[in-house]
Structure formats: structure tokens, C-alpha cells
Amino acid sequence: MYGQNHDESLWGDPYAFRPGRFLERPVERDELIPQGGGDPATGHRCPGEGVTVGGLEALAVRLARMEYTVPEQNLTISPHRVPTRPHSGVLLAGIR
Ligand code: HEM
């Protein structure tokens, strides 16, 4: 999954934080696979993806309205853990 989601031939500059890339063209079902690929009923795809994406949509709006800073932390991701998670989690400070 890490290789797929960081494939330069698909994403050009996969390590750049450039969310606008997803507005540039439609993303096919099995191109971006943070929760596995294929059909959840028959393949290796997380059945919780709909719930997760719904929660992220709600969270994104709240985060955009909050004030906070992101302190120094270890945001590297181990390829040995599923689901993936930054080593320090994602720590926010000074939340208002
Ligand atoms: C950021 C959140 C999540 C990530 C990154 C994630 C990722 C994954 C991945 C990679 C798999 C393995 C797919 C495979 O190779 O077969 C998986 C399986 C699974 N996930 Fe998630 N997941 C997330 C959230 C959730 C949530 C919220 C639920 C439940 C509401 C859920 C339920 C499951 C279940 C039950 C499986 C096992 C499916 C099976 O083996 O038949 N996941 N998930």
C-alpha cells in the first residue's frame, strides 16, 4: 500500500503535501488505497472506509475552523504497522 500510494508514475511528486492534486483529475478506485484495494466484499479493502471517510470529512471542517500549532514531533510512518500511524500520533498544541 505504501508503494502504491507513493508511486511517482501516479502522483508525480508523492512526498509533497499538495492536496490540490486530487482536484486535478478523478482518482480511480484502486489508485489511492490508504485502506486497501479492490472491493471490500471480495478483495483486500477495509470495510470501514465509508465510516472513516465520513468522519474525516466532518473532522476536516472542524480542524479548518480551529486554531492550533503543530509542535516538533516524529511524523515518520512505519511500513510495518497496519493501519499506518505517525510514530508520535499527531500532536496539536494551543488548541482554541
Ligand atoms: C484511518 C482508518 C483506517 C485505516 C487506515 C484502515 C485500514 C485497513 C486496512 C489496510 C485493512 C486491511 C485490508 C486487507 O488487506 O484486507 C483494514 C481491514 C479492516 N478494517 Fe480498517 N482501516 C481504518 C478504519 C477502520 C474502521 C473505522 C473500521 C470499522 C468501523 C475498520 C474495520 C476493518 C475491518 C473489520 C477490517 C478487516 C476486514 C477483513 O479482513 O475482512 N477499519 N483496514
Give the model confidence (pLDDT) of 27-36 as tens digits.
999 999 999 9
Q: CA 40 to CA 27: how far, in whole Å?
A: 18
Whole-Å CA distances, 13 to 5, 26, 49: 11, 17, 25
Question: Which residues approach ligand 1 with their CB closer than 6 A?
Answer: 34-36, 44-48, 51-52, 82-83
Torsion 59-65-66-72 (CA) sign: positive
Residue nearest to atom 15 of ligand 1 (CA): 44
**For ligand 1, atom 27, which residue shows the shortest CA distance?**
48
What pLDDT score does 84 carry? 79
Quote the pLDDT of residue 79: 85
Q: Is 3 helix (H, G, I), strand (E, B) or coil?
A: helix
Q: Atom 21 of ligand 1 has which residue's CA nearest to it?
A: 46
Cβ(86)–Cβ(77) below 8 Å:
yes
Of the candidates 46, 49, 36, the residue with the CA atom closest to the CA atom of residue 5: 36
Q: How many CB atoms lie within 10 A of CB 84?
A: 13
pLDDT less than 70: residues of the chain: none
* pLDDT of the residue at 64: 92
- The pLDDT score that the predictor gives to residue 95 is 93
Q: Per DSSP, which regions of 1-96 are E strands?
A: 36-37, 44-45
pLDDT score at 81: 86
